[in-house]
Amino acid sequence: MQPLFGEGAMLNLLEFDPGARVPEHDHPHEQLGMVLEGDLVLRVGGVEHRLRPGSAYQIPGQVPHAAWTESGRCRVLDVFHPVREDYRERVAG
């Protein structure tokens, strides 16, 4: 699924393979999300959270965060506010 862009927010569905990692990073966008399938470890501001299906999270803008799977696949739905223009540019290609 490609990201869905609104005027002020966007949705993005992510699928992680077993052992996948998103390195620590930050961005100015607020990020909300929910784990749909599988397990995810999310580190936000140095604190680790072990998330399962149905777990939701909120990451304020400018806060360093990272994510990874330890075993199994994982699907996550993310919402960003405001829209991440870097994602829009990638989709436009």
User: For residues 12 and 87, is the Cβ–Cβ distance under 8 A?
Assistant: yes
Contact 26, 18 (CB under 8 A): no
* pLDDT given at position 92: 87
Q: What is the pLDDT of residues 33-67, one digit of tens each?
A: 999 999 999 999 999 999 999 999 999 999 999 99
CA distance 67 to 70: 10
pTM of the entire predicted model: 0.93
Q: Which residues of 50-70 are buried (b: 16+ CB within 10 A; e: fewer)?
A: ebeeebebebeeeeebebebe
Look at the chain and report how many structural domains it folds into.
Answer: 1
* CATH number of the structural domain spanning residue 84: 2.60.120.10
Instruction: Name the maximum alpha-carbon separation found in the chain.
Output: 36
Continuous H helices in the chain: 85-92
Structural domain of residue 87, as residue ranges? Answer: 4-92
